[in-house]
Amino acid sequence: MTNRELRRLDPTDCGALLAPLHAELISLLRGLSDADWQRPTVAGSWRVRDVVAHLLDIDVRRLSFHRDSRALPVPQELPPQSYAEQVDFLNALNREWVRIAERMSERVLVDLIDVTGPQVAGFLASLPPHERAYWPVAWAGETESENWMDVGRDYTERWHHQAQLRDAVGAPPLNERRWLHPVLELSVRALPHAFREIAAADGDAFVVDIGGEAGGVWSLLREGGRWNLRAGDAPSAVARAQLDVDTAWRLFYNALSRDLRAPAVQVDGDPRFAEAFARVRSVMV
């Protein structure tokens, strides 16, 4: 299913996937039992109901701040500047919403998401793909992004939170190539930023080989003193990572425990690359 010839990455268009992904979410949520809503997830201390509340929150933010141009509630006396400050600010917003959502029943949460979800899907799908995005994708090291990248980031956010829910309640994962390959294709765009402090000679490469029907092969190439990402298998690899698709999404989205990380992610070659790859995240943490 993968082409191993080295080539430049094209934009990943996820606009048409948002509406069917939302339909899968609603079908899942309507079938949950009372006990399912209280099950723990791989999202830290969040239960299933907390992840669902967060999904409603990201809908409300996208519609309010982006579509409707409502001002962001950034503290005016000390707005976040650094990446770490942005993460802290977002985490505080997330915690505040989840706490407020305790006032909502599970039925209300699902009914609200079934209103906001289609609006978000339609709005994002309508954005011109190469115009400047409302939000840059910071985990990829971008201070300015195009809409296709922001829409793709939004898709990965929704897919991986739904994956957390499915994992928690034992529902079948959405791991067919249609769903998961775009997630991985976008997630690996975090690699150049994650490796920015790893020095190497021009021409060296680090290959990431994700096995499975939805997987692929990508290479980080050292060119002109910087890392550039390519699709395919670089012949000049000084290190190579091999993992399966389930391990890959869990690693990229901070859902792989440290106990499982070493045997699940095989990296051959320079140990510096193994350490850097273990820290790659395609989400702000």
Out of 162, 180, 198, pick the residue that ends a domain. 180
**Which amino acid does the sequence have at 279?**
R
Is 69 domain-assigned?
Answer: yes
pLDDT, tens digit (0-9, with 9 covering 90-100), for 194-238: 999 999 999 999 999 999 999 999 999 999 999 999 999 998 899
79 three-state secondary structure:
coil
CATH number of the domain where residue 97 is located: 1.20.120.450
Out of 121, 145, 180, pick the residue that ends a domain. 180
In this structure, the strands spanning 205-211 and 237-244 are parallel
| CA atoms of 208 and 186, how far apart (whole Å) | 13
| CA atoms of 155 and 206, how far apart (whole Å) | 26
CATH number of the domain where residue 216 is located: 3.30.1050.10
Tell me which residue has tokens 């201390």.
Answer: 45
* Structural domain range at position 198: 188-278
Whether the Cβ atoms of residue 205 and residue 222 lie closer than 8 Å to each other: yes
CA 15 → CA 63, 86, 129, 153, distances in Å? 16, 26, 9, 11
Is 9 domain-assigned?
Answer: no
Q: State the pLDDT at residue 92.
A: 87
pLDDT, tens digit (0-9, with 9 covering 90-100), for 152-188: 999 999 999 999 999 999 999 999 999 999 999 999 9
Q: State the pLDDT at residue 78.
A: 56
Residues 116 and 206 in one domain: no
Residues 28 and 64 in one domain: yes
Q: State the pLDDT at residue 62.
A: 97
Residues 85 and 221 in one domain: no
pLDDT, tens digit (0-9, with 9 covering 90-100), for 14-29: 999 999 999 999 999 9
Residues 33 and 173 in one domain: yes
Residue 141: other Cβ atoms inside 10 A: 16
Which distant-in-sequence residues (6+ apart) come within 8 Å of 82 by Cβ?
none
| CA atoms of 185 and 51, how far apart (whole Å) | 24
Residues 163 and 212 in one domain: no
Q: State the pLDDT at residue 261.
A: 56
| CA atoms of 48 and 158, how far apart (whole Å) | 14
Residues 271 and 175 in one domain: no
Closest CA to 141 of 188, 190, 197, 182: 190
pLDDT, tens digit (0-9, with 9 covering 90-100), for 71-108: 987 765 556 677 788 888 888 888 999 999 999 999 99
Whether the Cβ atoms of residue 239 and residue 250 lie closer than 8 Å to each other: no
Q: Does residue 63 register a pLDDT over 80?
A: yes
Out of 148, 180, 212, pick the residue that ends a domain. 180
3-state SS, 48-76, equals HHHHHHHHHHHHHHHHHHHHCCCCCCCCC
pLDDT, tens digit (0-9, with 9 covering 90-100), for 249-275: 999 999 986 655 556 788 999 889 999
Q: Specify the DSSP class assigned to residue 37.
A: G
Residue 134: other Cβ atoms inside 10 A: 14
Q: What is the pTM of this model?
A: 0.93
| CA atoms of 260 and 268, how far apart (whole Å) | 17
Is 42 domain-assigned?
Answer: yes
| CA atoms of 216 and 254, how far apart (whole Å) | 20
Residues 133 and 106 in one domain: yes
- Element (DSSP H or E) covering residue 154: helix 147-169
- Tell me how many domains the chain contains: 2
| CA atoms of 163 and 176, how far apart (whole Å) | 12
Q: State the pLDDT at residue 1.
A: 44
The pair of structure tokens assigned to 250 is 């869990």
In this structure, the strands spanning 205-211 and 226-231 are unpaired
Q: State the pLDDT at residue 73.
A: 78
